Amino acid sequence: MKIVLDKVCKSFDGRPVINDFSHVFETGNSYVIEGPSGIGKTTLLRIITGLTPCDSGSVTYDKIAKPRFAPVFQETRLINYLDAVRNVKLAARDLPDERIREELSRIIPEEELSKKVSELSGGTARRVEIVRAILSPSDVLIMDEPLTGLDDETADLVSSYISDNIKERIFIASSHNKRLCAGAHSLVLQ
Amino acid sequence: MSNKAARRTLIVLLWLVLWQLASIAVNNNILLAGPYEALLALIRLGATSAFWLSVISTVLKITLGFATGLMLGCLCAALSYRYGLFREVISLPVSVIKSVPVASFVILVLIWAGAPSLSIVISALVVFPMIYYNVLSGLDSTDRKMIETSELFRFRFRDKVNHIYLPSVIPHLRSAVAVSAGMAFKSGIAAEVIGRPLKSIGSGLYQSKVLLATDELFAWTFCAVLLAFLFEKAITTLMRRLMSR
C-alpha cells in the first residue's frame, strides 16, 4: 500500500504552514518527520490521516479505499476513568485481555495497569497510547512526538518496542528525538 | 435526629402553628381552613376509593407523559446533533413548544384529543424542550478530540456512545430531568384542573373550588406537592443508579 502526497499546501489565517509537500509513503517503511516546533509536523500528520483537509494538492491512497490509521496524538487522548487494559481493548477489541496486559507490561510496570489512566503519569499514559496504536488493527501507524515526556532509558525501551511491532504497516512519526526508529527515512520540514 | 433536621422540623411546625392561628383568627373555613381541618379532609378523602383512583390515574398519566417527553427529547437531540438539516427544521417547533403558554396547549389538546389523555400530552410537551435543549447542549460539548480518536480507531458504536458521548451528556441530562420531573407534575395537574378528566387530582381540586371546600383544596394540594416531590426523587434516584452503571 502507498500513501501519495502530491504538492500539498496548507495555510492557517493566510500563513502558509505546508507548502508544496510531496512524498510517497510505502508499506513496511518508517518515516520520521523532523523540523523545528511550529513548522507544520502535526498539521502534516493530520492531513495524512484526513483529519485536516489540505488547501491544494492531493492525498491519495493506493490499493486501498481508506487505510485504517492508528494514531498517537501529541496530547493524551484516553478514556480517563478506564484502566490501561480497557482503553487498549476499545481499539483492539478482538484481542483477549491477557494478551493486552502482557503487551502493556512490556513497557509499563505491571502495578500501573489496574489504575485508572487519570491516575497515571503523563509518560505512562503516553506508553498506553503507544501500545493501543500498536495493537489496533491498522495499515498506518501515525505518532506525533511519541517519546515526549519519557526519560532516556524508557525512550530507548519504547523506541525498540515500536520498531519491533511496525510489521507490515506504514510508520510515520514526528519527533525531535533521534532515538526513534534508527533506520527510518528522515523527512525534514523547513 | 441531626441538629439541622431538628431545626427544619421546628421551622415547619412554627409555620403550621401560625397557619392554624391565622385560620382561627379568620374564623371562616371557606376563606382559610387551617392545617388541622386540611388533615381531617385528607383523612376523609383517603378513606374513599375515588381518591386513590384519582391519585393513581394522575401519577400514571404524568409518568407516561414524562417518559414520552424524555424519550422524544433524547431522540430529537441525537438526530439534531447528527443531521444539521433536522436541527434547523425542528428548531422552530421546539421554540414554539417552549414559549407557548401551557393553557393554550391544554385547550388545543382538549379539542384534538379530549380530556382523558390531556395530562399525558401536556407533561410530555413540558418535558420535551427541556430535555431536547439540555441533551443537545451535552452532545455539542462532547470533546472533539475524543470523537476524532474514536473514529480513527473505529470504536464500536456502543463504545462511542458509552465512553465518548454519555460522559458529556449525563450531567446535562441529570439536571434537565430533575427540573422537568417537578414541572411535568405541576403542569399535568394544572391541565387536569382545566380539562377535568374523570378520576384525577385536577378534577378533585376543581371540585373543591366549586364546593368552596378550602380544607379539601389544601388536602388535594398537599397530596399533589407530596407526589411531585416523591416523583422527582424517584426519577432522579433512578437516573443516578442507571448512570452510575
ipTM: 0.91
Is A90 in contact with B153 (Cβ distance < 8 A)?
yes
CA distance B201 to chain A (A): 46
Chain centre distance of CA A8: 20
**Burial class of residue B150, CB neighbours in 10 A (0-12, 13-18, 19+):** buried
Q: Which three cell numbers stand for residue B56?
A: 393513581
SS3 A20: strand
Across chain A, mean pLDDT equals 91
Q: Which three cell numbers stand for residue A92?
A: 483492539
**Partner residue opposite B159 with nearest CB, options A77, A90, A136:** A90
Sign of CA dihedral B67, B200, B50, B224: positive
| pLDDT value, residue B34 | 87
pTM over 0.90: no
Pairing of β A140-144 and β A69-72: parallel
| pLDDT value, residue B57 | 93
pLDDT interval class at A181 (50, 70, 90) = low
SS3 B40: helix
Q: Span A1-68+141-190: which CATH code?
A: 3.40.50.300
Residues A15-38: tens digit of each pLDDT: 889 989 999 999 988 999 988 888
Is A75 in contact with B145 (Cβ distance < 8 A)?
yes
Is B146 in contact with A93 (Cβ distance < 8 A)?
no
Q: Chain A contacts of B152, Cβ < 8 Å? A: 49, 51, 69-71
Other beta carbons less than 10 A from residue A156's beta carbon: 13
pLDDT interval class at B239 (50, 70, 90) = confident
Across chain B, mean pLDDT equals 91
DSSP H or E run through B168:
helix B166-195
DSSP H or E run through B75:
helix B49-82
Q: Does A177 score more than 80 pLDDT?
A: no
Q: Which three cell numbers stand for residue B145?
A: 478530540
Chain B residue with minimal CA distance to A134?
B153
CA distance B225 to chain A (A): 39
Q: Chain B contacts of A49, Cβ < 8 Å? A: 152
3-state secondary structure chain A: CEEEEEEEEEEECCEEEEEEEEEEEECCCEEEEECCCCCCHHHHHHHHHCCCCCCEEEEEEECCCCCCEEEECCCCCCCCCCEHHHHHHHHCCCCCHHHHHHHHCCCCCHHHCCCEHHHCCHHHHHHHHHHHHHHCCCCEEEEECCCCCCCHHHHHHHHHHHHHHCCCCEEEEECCCCCCCCCCEEEECC
Residues A103-145: tens digit of each pLDDT: 999 999 999 998 999 999 999 999 999 999 999 999 999 999 9
Instruction: Give the highest mean pLDDT range of A57-61, A149-153, B80-84, B212-216.
Output: B80-84
What is the Cβ-side half-sphere exposure of residue A175, based on CA atoms within 13 angstroms? 25
d(CA A75, CA A37): 15
Chain B residue with minimal CA distance to A49?
B152
- A3 in Cβ contact with A61 (< 8 Å): yes
Residues in chain B: 245
Residues of B in CB contact (< 8 Å) with A are 145-146, 148-150, 152-156, 159, 163-164, 167
d(CA A82, CA A79): 6
Angle between helices B214-244 and B49-82 (to 10 degrees): 40
Is A91 in contact with B153 (Cβ distance < 8 A)?
yes
Give domain limits for chain A. Answer: 1-68+141-190, 81-137
Mean pLDDT of the region A76-88: 95
Count of CB contacts below 8 A, A vs B?
32
- B205 in Cβ contact with B59 (< 8 Å): no
**Partner residue opposite B148 with nearest CB, options A51, A81, A91:** A51
